[in-house]
């Protein structure tokens, strides 16, 4: 039995579908019974659980041989970093009681760094916590998801300007489709893991892109003239506050892009590498189609 936490997210759904396609038994963990329909349809056993509830984690792991762990940043929380750290610590306590499990933990590029990386610092905490409790551990570090551009696509379609925190606009950065991350995660879950050895795998897309590439792909998909706009550094926080984020969440993002734009966040040398097959244009076209629909 393979257990998938975060099964209703883009990566989790992709992992579950890939495992079911290969005939593996999958237990999908959802927070609400209303989320179970799609997962039931593809043959998953669906259970409710919450990474903030240790008892529900134990129930979800009963009888499992492998588990995919995703600890998401709580977007509407007044202190998302503190809440995510508590979630990670709760998950780690539960995993300690299941040492036979192969744990595939979803992490981020740059998680090896221990300071000043914003959201990525939380994945540094996750990796450290899980190393202490999971004898069979695979860390899957993902580049930035291409689907994250969905947050600003409506603005770009309305104004012809694609706001970007990637500076400069012509600097290529690693990125990957969430769907491809799920496919790689499914393969790693079925690979198994040797006890006492932490396996680190880094995944990104078939090539690197810059913000200008994103704008061109969006223009081609929408049939409009769209150019990338480097949002001035001094306007980042205010822009995010206007978009509904709180100050704590905004600071995590600012710190992340400061680190990324200075070249600190990238694939760690010496890690295993995987490359997805989905190109940026396909992802952007799907985003535009969804918005138009």
Distance from C-alpha of 143 to C-alpha of 123, rounded to nearest angstrom: 13
Distance from C-alpha of 145 to C-alpha of 203, rounded to nearest angstrom: 10
Report if residue 200 sits inside a domain.
Answer: yes
Q: Comparing C-alpha atoms, which of 220, 232, 183 is closest to residue 203?
A: 183
Report if residue 240 sits inside a domain.
Answer: no
Report if residue 221 sits inside a domain.
Answer: no
Report if residue 31 sits inside a domain.
Answer: yes
Q: Comparing C-alpha atoms, which of 253, 235, 238, 232 is closest to residue 168?
A: 232
What percentage of residues in the chain have a pLDDT greater than 90? 93
**What pLDDT score does 195 carry?**
75
**What pLDDT score does 226 carry?**
97
User: What residues make up the domain containing 51?
Assistant: 2-144+177-204+266-277
Number of domains in the chain: 1
Report if residue 155 sits inside a domain.
Answer: no
Report if residue 46 sits inside a domain.
Answer: yes
Q: Per-residue pLDDT tens for 61-111? A: 999 999 999 999 998 899 999 999 999 999 999 999 999 999 999 999 999
Q: Comparing C-alpha atoms, which of 120, 115, 111, 109 is closest to residue 253?
A: 120
| Confidence band for 206, pLDDT divided at 50, 70 and 90 | very high
Distance from C-alpha of 211 to C-alpha of 230, rounded to nearest angstrom: 9
**What pLDDT score does 22 carry?**
96
pTM above 0.85, yes or no: yes
For the chain, the straight-line distance linking the first and the last C-alpha, in angstroms and rounded, comes to 37
What percentage of residues in the chain have a pLDDT greater than 70? 100
Q: Per-residue pLDDT tens for 153-173? A: 999 999 999 999 999 999 999
pLDDT above 90 (res 12): yes
Q: Which of 31-45, 82-96, 147-161, 175-189 has the lowest mean pLDDT?
A: 31-45
| Confidence band for 127, pLDDT divided at 50, 70 and 90 | very high
What CATH number is associated with residue 8?
Answer: 3.40.50.720
pLDDT above 90 (res 293): no
Report if residue 195 sits inside a domain.
Answer: yes
Burial 61-79 (b: 16+ CB within 10 A, else e): beebbbbbbbbebbeeeee
pLDDT above 80 (res 208): yes
Q: How many CB atoms lie within 10 A of CB 85?
A: 17
Report if residue 39 sits inside a domain.
Answer: yes
């Amino acid at each position: 039995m393979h257990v998938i936490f975060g099964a209703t997210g883009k990566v989790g759904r992709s992992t579950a579908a890939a495992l079911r396609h290969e005939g593996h038994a999958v237990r999908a963990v959802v927070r609400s019974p209303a989320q179970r329909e799609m997962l039931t349809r593809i043959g998953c056993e669906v259970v409710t659980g919450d990474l903030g509830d240790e008892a529900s984690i134990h129930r979800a792991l009963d009888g499992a041989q492998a588990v995919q762990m995703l600890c998401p940043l709580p977007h509407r929380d007044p202190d998302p970093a503190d809440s995510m750290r508590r979630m990670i610590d709760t998950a780690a306590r539960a995993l300690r009681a299941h040492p036979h499990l192969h744990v595939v933990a979803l992490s981020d590029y740059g998680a090896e760094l221990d300071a000043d990386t914003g959201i990525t610092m939380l994945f540094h905490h996750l990796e450290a916590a899980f190393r202490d409790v999971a004898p069979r551990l695979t860390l899957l570090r993902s580049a930035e998801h291409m689907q994250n551009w969905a947050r600003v696509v409506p603005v770009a379609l309305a104004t012809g300007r694609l706001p970007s925190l990637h500076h400069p606009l012509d600097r290529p950065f690693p990125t990957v489709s969430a769907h491809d991350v799920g496919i790689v995660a499914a393969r790693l879950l079925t690979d198994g893991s040797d006890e006492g050895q932490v396996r680190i795998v880094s995944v990104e897309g078939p090539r690197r892109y810059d913000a200008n590439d994103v704008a061109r792909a969006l223009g081609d998909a929408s049939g409009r003239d769209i150019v990338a706009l480097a949002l001035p550094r001094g306007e980042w926080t205010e822009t995010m506050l206007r978009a509904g984020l709180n100050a704590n969440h905004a600071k995590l993002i600012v710190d992340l892009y400061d680190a990324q734009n200075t070249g600190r966040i990238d694939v760690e040398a010496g890690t295993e590498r995987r490359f997805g097959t989905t190109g940026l244009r396909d992802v952007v076209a799907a985003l535009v189609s969804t918005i138009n629909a």
